[in-house]
Amino acid sequence: MAIGSLILVEPAQAGNLGAAMRVAANFGVPRLELVRPKIDPEDPEVLDWACGGERRLECRSWSKFSEATARCHTLAASASGRGRQDLPVLPPEEVVPVLIERGLPGVGLVFGNETRGLRREDLDRCDLIISIPTEPGFPVLNLTQAVAILLATISMGAGPCQALVEEPAPGSQVESLMAHLDRSLQAIGFLDPQNPQRILRKLRRILGRAGITENEVAILRGICRQMEWAAEARPGRFQESSESDLPE
């Protein structure tokens, strides 16, 4: 069984895009989602590199990362983690079992631009970050090489049976939950209004690692509503900037 979507953010080189199409088709990926592509997926050079793989894919282009990932319940991004010490980066052997357990058809595998990689705001929307082990002195892989390595690793790790008990909630529901957490935590004075993303980013990581279900989203949103009610009913009763007591 294959992942549900290969997501390429701002691909710029025809050879890479076409070769990624071919690799995706090799491993049975049904959908290719392109976010602000710099090259037309119908360009003849792209199709030459795809070698017919494009005919096996549903390929769509999007202007927003959130639109391209709406079908996915889990996003796994490929990133080196260089210069981002606070980014929780895991090796493939730790991530692949998690993806298989959650159900591969709902997984989106995300790759950034060949030169810049992924923007921080896009990385923050991903549940798991994967770094392919390489020689430390020369760690950056070609886009298609990275796609091929991870798809092959996932394919080898996937068995005929899925251990999934309950599928994680769709990404759109998690995004709604994050917006609700932002409002309710602001209402009780927990977030620093000048930098609310500091804690929200960590909460997103917790939710991403947990793979929360629709039922769990509903429970957390119920807690958010109760916090908002309490803040409105008892103004001034909550300690301001409670997050200052937390470690960096």
pLDDT along the chain (248 residues), means of 10: 93 96 96 96 96 95 94 89 63 90 92 91 89 86 94 82 65 88 89 86 84 88 89 65 49
- 171-245: in CATH 1.10.1060: no
Query: What pLDDT is stored for residue 161 in this prediction?
Result: 46
Query: What pLDDT is stored for residue 210 in this prediction?
Result: 81
Domains of the chain, residue spans? 5-157, 171-245
Query: What pLDDT is stored for residue 104 in this prediction?
Result: 92
CATH topology of domain 5-157: Alpha/beta knot (3.40.1280)
Query: What pLDDT is stored for residue 236 in this prediction?
Result: 59
- The structure tokens listed for 160 are 């005929």
Query: What pLDDT is stored for residue 160 in this prediction?
Result: 53
Q: Calculate helix-pair angle for 92-102, 143-157, nearest 10 degrees.
A: 60
Query: What pLDDT is stored for residue 239 in this prediction?
Result: 52
